Amino acid sequence: MARISNPLPRTTSSPGIPETPQPQQRPTVLSRSTETNVGSFWDMLAVRLIFAIVCVAAGYHFQPFGLTRLLASIAGLLFAVAVILFEVRLRRASLRRLIGAATGSILGILGAYLTSLVLLNTSMPAGERSYFSLIVFLVMAYIGLIVGANKGDMLNLQALGGLFGSERNMRHTFKLLDTSVIIDGRIADIAEAQFLDGAVVIPQFVLHELQLVADSADPLKRQRGRRGLEVLQRIQKIPNLDVQIAEDDFANIADVDLKLIELAKRYDAKIITNDFNLNKVATLQGIEILNVNQLANALKPVVLPGETMRVFILREGKEYNQGVAYLDDGTMVVVDAARKMINKTIDIIVTSVHQTTAGKMIFGRYDERSASAAVGVGAAETRSAESGQERPPRPYYPEPGR
């Protein structure tokens, strides 16, 4: 895979708001990854300077195409800069793409050579034959290079005797991010906790949708879009996380969800989302889904009927004499006989737990008598402590005759 060092450019206009991503040149998948340097920055700079000096000296000495020494030196410098830029770009390419590009170009050159042999046996004039041979060579080499690079991801490098063991087969570990899960923001916390392996892929059409939302005239939509871009910037900065931008698009499909499904089929990838409808449609088509809402529900603490909980009654419920509380993870707790305890922290007894599509709901009961008894015991202990008298210990078992 071709790699780029910064798939999501940072903003320069206002702090905290990322710049909207710009369309990038194809290849199919671009990624952010740590470069593997031969040496330090100064070592690479010295090597490139030496190469540039050699190119300038060669142009000054040989004076190609009848140029003057000054023009030949400038041409040598431009040639060195072009080669260095190509080398910098090429170093970020994955081994699969390099092998695919080399194989495709070699096959293209072989095909051009065989075509030129056919042209030699024709009655075509030598000038035209040379021209067509050159055209065929350029076309075949170019097509072989591009097609080989794009198909290089299908190579199984592990079958080559472990020679390329450092290049892991990432084909079955791609995870596509949906627009909704990016705006939600919890995916960044999951990634920081290192619960994501493989490559996190952000499709270009998802970035385009985020850009449209961030540029919306509606302030709420604009805020949501900018939040999504900030989440992507946060994911990009996570070390040891392979973040990639998928350039694949499906022009005949207008819906973003359907594009995600087609992209997941193409790369045998999983989709990370919290969209209920996308979850159902993708599951019906055999796509594996990682639902953030299901993960959040699975991580909620397990509560069993009969347990005691301490909650803060926030508001009254829909039914008579009910109070409603919320746990730290957002779980709703409906408490009977707690309407009078609004804005107070009380102990309740869990009566039942219900799992719904929207999440988990806990139903409990507030017992005023037990609470009053507990308050009376606490007040008695306080008075006993203030009078200096030691309270006799409470027996562990009931006394005989009581």
- For 51, 74, 216, 325, the CA distances from 57, given in Å and listed in that order, are 10, 10, 56, 79
Look up residue 362 and give its two tokens: 């806990």
- Residues of the chain above pLDDT 90, percent: 19
Taking alpha carbons only, the member of 32, 317, 293, 68 closest to residue 181 is: 293
The pTM is what? 0.46
pLDDT digits (tens, 9 = 90+) for 366-393: 877 666 555 554 554 555 555 555 455 4
**CA dihedral defined by 124, 127, 133, 139, rounded to 10 degrees?**
-120
Minimum mean pLDDT range among 90-104, 194-208, 238-252, 301-315: 90-104
| pLDDT of residue 325 exceeding 90 | yes
Q: Could you give the CA distance from residue 86 to residue 245 in angstroms, rounded to a whole number?
A: 21
Q: How confident is the model at residue 1 (pLDDT cuts 50, 70, 90)?
A: very low
Q: Could you give the CA distance from residue 64 to residue 395 in angstroms, rounded to a whole number?
A: 107
**96 in Cβ contact with 152 (< 8 Å):** yes
Look at 8 and 207; give whichever has higher pLDDT. 207
Would you call 137 exposed, middle or buried from its count of C-beta atoms within 10 A (0-12, 13-18, 19+)?
middle
pLDDT of residue 27: 34
Minimum mean pLDDT range among 37-46, 90-99, 129-138, 164-173: 164-173
Domains of the chain: 41-157 (no CATH), 171-298 (3.40.50.1010), 300-391 (2.40.50.140)
| pLDDT of residue 90 exceeding 50 | yes
| pLDDT of residue 137 exceeding 60 | yes
pLDDT digits (tens, 9 = 90+) for 74-89: 999 999 999 999 888 8
Q: How confident is the model at residue 154 (pLDDT cuts 50, 70, 90)?
A: low
pLDDT digits (tens, 9 = 90+) for 252-296: 888 888 999 988 888 888 999 988 888 888 888 888 889 888 888
Look up residue 121 and give its two tokens: 């046996």
- Average pLDDT of the chain? 78
Q: Which amino acid is at 193?
A: A
Residue 357: partners with Cβ closer than 8 Å, 6 or more residues away: 276
Q: Could you give the CA distance from residue 292 to residue 187 in angstroms, rounded to a whole number?
A: 8
Q: How confident is the model at residue 239 (pLDDT cuts 50, 70, 90)?
A: confident
What number is the average pLDDT over the span 202-206? 90
| pLDDT of residue 312 exceeding 90 | yes
- Residues of the chain above pLDDT 70, percent: 76
pLDDT of residue 313: 92
Minimum mean pLDDT range among 24-33, 340-349, 390-399: 24-33
Look up residue 272 and give its two tokens: 């990370």
pLDDT of residue 388: 53
| pLDDT of residue 395 exceeding 60 | no
Q: How confident is the model at residue 168 (pLDDT cuts 50, 70, 90)?
A: very low
Name residue, tokens 């707790």: 333
| pLDDT of residue 326 exceeding 60 | yes
Kindly tell me the sign of the dihedral angle through the C-alpha atoms of 392, 393, 394, 397: negative
**132 in Cβ contact with 119 (< 8 Å):** yes
Q: Could you give the CA distance from residue 318 to residue 72 in angstroms, rounded to a whole number?
A: 86
